[in-house]
Amino acid sequence: MKETILKLLPQAYPWRQQLLCYDSIDSTNTQAKLLAAQGAAQGTALIARQQTAGRGRMGRSFHSPENGGVYLSLILRPQCPAQSLMHLTCAVAVAMCQAVESASGLRPGIKWINDLVVGKRKLGGILTELSLRPDGTVDYAVVGIGINCCQQAGEFPPELPHATSLAMETGKEIDPCVLAAAMLQALQAMEETLLSRQAAIMATYRRDCVTLGQAVAVHSPAGIRHGTALALDDQGGLTVAFHDGTTQCVSAGEVSIRGMYGYIS
């Protein structure tokens, strides 16, 4: 797998020496965080054929079977305060739309804040985790992405009725190594403009985001509130007009959204 991915990457890809591939791992994000805490450099990427304990947002698991998806985590070390990275998950989502499009010809949509979708089905997800120094600056960020690539209809477990894969959506076999190489390239390009082109990144996110204009249910510890998603700010905050007449900007750390898609994100 590693040799194939390296052959697919351009020679100019700057993180060639930092690619780690595994047949099976508990979670690429968990292991990336351990490596980052031990000093692994920016650009270290972990790719697995299978995860035995793949993780999603809000403590959920991420189904990660062998011969199913691409499971990838990348260590970044942006030199900035955490407040400057509120848009990181959105930037990764835009990069992954580009990667999927370049590998398969299909451009997914984004269900706020971290899901890649095709129609009403979930194609993949993003889990971003930060470690901060005592002064509030970022020590490292781990961006983890799982994209369902090869599964056929009927291969997802019954508890994932809304899941889909690139094979199911395109009717073609997409080589996971081709997808993985496209993901690495898109992430490396994203890193170059992450802090300097936030407004442009968020403009693309808004274009790809399928949540805007839709009915949403906002789940928080305080309860569930229903409304309509109106707008997205440059930090990834979602403005929701609630049915009780109030309007609020909600952030992904605080709430999850259940909308027309029926599943929680």
Q: Which residues form the interface with ligand BTN (CB under 6 A)?
A: 27-29, 51, 54-57, 60, 62, 71-73, 114, 125-127, 144-146
Assigned token pair, 226: 């229903």
* Distance in angstroms (rounded) separating the CA atoms of residues 238 and 115: 15
Residues 6+ apart with CB under 8 A from 260: 120, 214, 215
Considering beta carbons, is residue 137 or 155 the nearer one to ligand BTN? Answer: 155
Gap between the Cα atoms of 237 and 250, Å rounded: 6
The alpha carbon of 198 is separated from its chain's Cα centroid by a whole number of angstroms, namely 17
Neighbours of 83 (CB within 10 A): 10
Question: Residue 77 CB, nearest distance to ligand BTN (Å)?
Answer: 18
In whole angstroms, how close is the CB of 62 to ligand BTN at the nearest point?
A: 4
CB of 258 to ligand BTN, least distance (A): 13
Pick between residue 30 and residue 104 the one whose CB is nearest to ligand BTN: 30
- Name the minimum Å distance from CB 150 to ligand BTN: 15
Asked if residue 229 lies in contact with residue 240, where contact means CB atoms within 8 angstroms, the answer is yes
The pair phi, psi for residue 186, each rounded to 5°, is: -65, -35
Find the shortest distance in angstroms from Cβ 243 to ligand BTN. 27
Is the Cβ of residue 1 or residue 195 nearer to ligand BTN in the bound state? 1
Q: Identify the residue whose tokens are 């600056």.
A: 137
Q: What share of the chain is helix, strand, coil (3-state, %, to 5)?
A: 30, 30, 40
**Identity of the residue, 89 or 98, whose beta carbon is nearer to ligand BTN in the bound complex:** 89
| Nearest residue to ligand BTN, scored by beta-carbon proximity | 125
Least distance to ligand BTN, CB of residue 138, Å: 19
Helix (H) / strand (E) element for 110: namely strand 109-111
> Between 85 and 252, whose beta carbon lies closer to ligand BTN?
252
